[in-house]
Amino acid sequence: MEALPQIRQTLSEISSRTPEALRIAVGIRFGSLPPSAAAGREDVARYAASLARQLQPRVRRNQPPTGPALRMNAASCYLPEHDEDAHFFHAVAGVIGVADGVGGCRLEGLDAAAFSRGLMASALSEVVASSSAAPSPGHICPYALLDKAYQQTAASGTPAASTAVIVSLAGRVLRWAYVGDSGFAVFRDGRILHRSSPQQSYFNCPFQLSSDSRDRYKVRDAAVGEIAVEEGDVVVVASDGLFDNVFDVMLEMIVQSGLALSFTPQNMADIIANQAYAAARRTQDTPFSIAAREYGRDKTGGKTDDTTVVVAFIEAQDMA
């Protein structure tokens, strides 16, 4: 687990990188840091309120996935609780992967981070090899990549278990494969266009991959699919530390405000991860607490967990 002083330092660094207007517009507090004094100024409050008027979605015609190739401009933020998440991004191949080590393995005395790190290391190695083999590497199939990474990790006898999600951009189509509750969301004009649905055996027990041949789930159980994307779309790929603690409407608010303020992917990843970290430690309802009560559990507030957030802006391919 990252020491508390280190977490506070990370949150302080995120705060220093975050434009004041966005903090005020969405009411963001950074851990134990006090609210911004500027929020009380009438001129700043008027500006923050005006953001909502800038965020009306543009009217777009439905377009087929044809035209110049697109690329992903991505950045990540990782706030560890037990340090069992792993992730990667390969810009040339346009591939993002996130894996979340299953915490229950830790309770059994296993290194709960071993399988998630093995999966992502193997996947990245495959992507690097593919990208190095040819000047213009072919598109990466997320399912095939996840399967190969799983086979390599399982064959090595790596202990523990992990959820995993891999997304890749092929021309103008975003493709995905995931097992468990690590997932993603695609935003257009700041509104969710598509969001993954978590795979669970029962409440708080996601589908998971492991080297134990007795385990029920394999890569063949992965959810797969694709969607046409456009320049200006935003893709957020994350572990369940995000989706358990932040409602979709808050994600939309942050993405909308970030787009209005010309945020970088790093700005947006920082703020989204911080929002999850803070919500996990409050007493207000979260997606996790609501789901828990639906299953008969007496639960309020969030769920403390590792939080990995990768934000990718879909941009025009640089032809230079």
In this structure, what CATH number is given to the domain that contains residue 309? Answer: 3.60.40.10
**Across residues 250-278, what is the average pLDDT?**
94
* CA distances in angstroms from 82 to 113, 186, 234, 292, listed in the order given: 9, 28, 28, 22
Query: What single-letter DSSP state applies at residue 75?
Result: E
In this predicted model, what pLDDT tens digit does every residue of 68-106 receive, in sequence order? 899 999 999 999 999 999 999 999 999 999 999 998 888
Per-residue confidence (pLDDT) for residue 132, from 0 to 100: 82
What's the structural domain count of the chain?
Answer: 1
* Region at 274 (left for phi over 0; alpha for psi -120 to 50; beta for the rest): alpha
**Across residues 202-223, what is the average pLDDT?**
92
Tokens of 299: 């639960």
* CA distances in angstroms from 76 to 112, 274, 282, listed in the order given: 22, 12, 24
In this predicted model, what pLDDT tens digit does every residue of 215-243 receive, in sequence order? 889 999 999 999 999 999 999 999 999 99
Residue 13 lies in a domain: no
What is the torsion angle, in degrees rounded to the nearest 10, for the CA atoms of residue 101, residue 103, residue 106 and residue 107? -160
- Report H helices in 69-171: 103-107, 114-133, 142-155
What is the span of the domain harbouring residue 74?
70-316
Q: Which of 23-32, 75-84, 289-298, 306-315 has the lowest mean pLDDT?
A: 23-32
* CA distances in angstroms from 114 to 84, 100, 106, 263, listed in the order given: 8, 10, 10, 34
Does the structure show a pLDDT above 90 at 204?
yes
Per-residue confidence (pLDDT) for residue 261, from 0 to 100: 87
Residue 147 lies in a domain: yes
**Across residues 48-77, what is the average pLDDT?**
70
Per-residue confidence (pLDDT) for residue 108, from 0 to 100: 82
**Across residues 202-220, what is the average pLDDT?**
91
Residue 42 lies in a domain: no
In this predicted model, what pLDDT tens digit does every residue of 18-28 receive, in sequence order? 666 556 655 55
**185 SS3 class:** strand
Per-residue confidence (pLDDT) for residue 32, from 0 to 100: 42
Per-residue confidence (pLDDT) for residue 71, from 0 to 100: 97
Residue 65 lies in a domain: no
Q: Which of 15-19, 64-68, 145-149, 287-291 has the lowest mean pLDDT?
A: 15-19
Residue 163 lies in a domain: yes
Per-residue confidence (pLDDT) for residue 302, from 0 to 100: 96
Per-residue confidence (pLDDT) for residue 18, from 0 to 100: 65
Per-residue confidence (pLDDT) for residue 34, from 0 to 100: 46
Residue 165 lies in a domain: yes
Per-residue confidence (pLDDT) for residue 214, from 0 to 100: 79
In this predicted model, what pLDDT tens digit does every residue of 152-189 receive, in sequence order? 999 999 999 999 999 999 999 999 999 999 999 999 99
Mean pLDDT estimate for the chain:
87
Does the structure show a pLDDT above 70 at 248?
yes
% helix, strand, coil for the chain, step of 5 = 35, 25, 40
Per-residue confidence (pLDDT) for residue 202, from 0 to 100: 93
Per-residue confidence (pLDDT) for residue 87, from 0 to 100: 99
**Across residues 43-50, what is the average pLDDT?**
56
Tell me the percentage of the chain whose pLDDT exceeds 90.
68
Residue type, 35: P
Residue 2 lies in a domain: no
Per-residue confidence (pLDDT) for residue 35, from 0 to 100: 47
**Across residues 138-162, what is the average pLDDT?**
95
Does the structure show a pLDDT above 80 at 301?
yes
Q: How far apart are CA 317 and CA 192, in angstroms?
A: 23
Q: Which helix (H) or strand (E) holds 4?
A: helix 4-17
Residue 310 lies in a domain: yes
Per-residue confidence (pLDDT) for residue 142, from 0 to 100: 98
pTM: 0.86
